Structure 1
């Protein structure tokens, strides 16, 4: 009973958060950051702390970055100032039709997509010749976007705005769509019910199993999950070739239970891979192609 009550309250809280293109919601993004911080090298943790001291230089007093969890949600907090930060809003996703072959080069004009911005911001973060506040901004963008790319509906799409156009009936939570279910309600249930907890120091074996790859690989994984699992899970069947998404989907309890380990694994993968991105960025020597 208590577990059901907690899940219901988390789902209700998700409704209060902005949902458009906000993978994993605030709780999910902060969880990926905490996983990452638990798995970086001590030297990386110290380097992060030094950058955090420059928080006020960002000029975003309504969106502070006091720790890595704040950094992970900072790019979504900026949505309150679209006049200033609107150019970054397309950086959160790179959807590819699930009925066509995946191509990481598509839908990324001028580098305005999640895959390109993970790579760009890691390079900025690694460049010690740049001002600390510039590198802190890059840290926040990189950590956030590496979380975004692991949410299946930020890579897979069926001409429905990544599931935003599909109204979803999810338990007792009203007003959700398929995208927001995976953003918040489902992710939060996966995090709160995980055993062992997702935020912990992973063993070398676990890190090897969860980590690896580059952003293009992570985007392909998410697209494949959207294609083979997310839509089929929500509809109770696979989409027929060329079939449009329905206007409404009802996630049964069985569908929710089946989706939880998928969401849990993607959040854990995001955290472990963010740790690797951070360790690489703060390692001695520049990244390939990065000037100092």
Structure 2
């Protein structure tokens, strides 16, 4: 019980100090660590080489000394809106859970997370580009694969992915549904995972988890929002009647969500590893 309360308090401090971020820093860094543990040695060497171009980014307040740093950099630089405001729509793709899944929805001119995963993978693989451009692509790819696996960055119900829904997390008040999944729910799931999520996965595990296309990954997140997340929050299917203004993410929902979150994090990390091997190996 004490451990759970400490996790909640730490998550709330993190949320109070920064804007709402997909998975929060802990989730993104965990995804990057899983990927780094599971890439090929030559891929790891290429990542280290690209990180040498970090001074060319000219973002001293958002350093990138590791892949884990890269995983949170796109959220860090959002504080500098003059330079980076154009990247804000790249972090999500609002696909209604009350309509049939449509990968082309709300992605004009590639300004959505699914398009940017593919774009940055191609840029990273292009060895004709300067190192700093490929490093930027590595950073965005690492972050956006994580974003894509956060259900509320894809499946939503005209509420900005749960940001408009006030929510309590057990005894913790003053949050919203999106921030709960970014922060305390993810913290609880990652911290309690057994075995730990950051490890070298077996070939069988990779074959089971590191599957599918970007479209498949988006649809998985959309289905989690439609089939579990909104019904658990609302106590009913999300498209039946008006949406509540305030919900309680109950202890039962917290516990049920843990294996779902863990699998989303694992899949993101292993799929990122596979993409990095393909682009850099």
TM-score (ref. length: structure 1): 0.93
Are the aligned partners of 1:231 and 1:238 in contact in 2 as well (CA < 8 Å)? yes
CA-based RMSD: 1.2
What residue is the counterpart of 2:31 in the other structure? 32
Consecutive unaligned residues in structure 2, runs of 5 or more: none
- Alignment counterpart, residue 259 of structure 2, candidates 248, 254, 261: 261
Q: Distance in 1 between matches of 2:8 and 2:229?
A: 21
What residue is the counterpart of 2:163 in the other structure? 164
Q: Distance in 2 between matches of 1:130 and 1:194?
A: 40
Structure 1 position 240, deviation (Å)? 4.2
Q: Distance in 1 between matches of 2:242 and 2:98?
A: 10
What residue is the counterpart of 1:151 in the other structure? 150
Structure 1 position 11, deviation (Å)? 2.6
Structure 1 position 17, deviation (Å)? 4.2
What residue is the counterpart of 2:231 in the other structure? 232
What residue is the counterpart of 1:139 in the other structure? 138
What residue is the counterpart of 2:4 in the other structure? 4
Q: Distance in 2 between matches of 1:31 and 1:141?
A: 16
- Alignment counterpart, residue 244 of structure 1, candidates 242, 245, 250: 242
What residue is the counterpart of 2:205 in the other structure? 206
What residue is the counterpart of 1:118 in the other structure? 117
Structure 1 position 252, deviation (Å)? 1.3
Structure 1 position 228, deviation (Å)? 0.4
- Runs of 4+ in structure 1 over 6 Å off: none
Consecutive unaligned residues in structure 1, runs of 5 or more: 284-292
Matched residue count? 281
Q: Distance in 2 between matches of 1:124 and 1:280?
A: 12
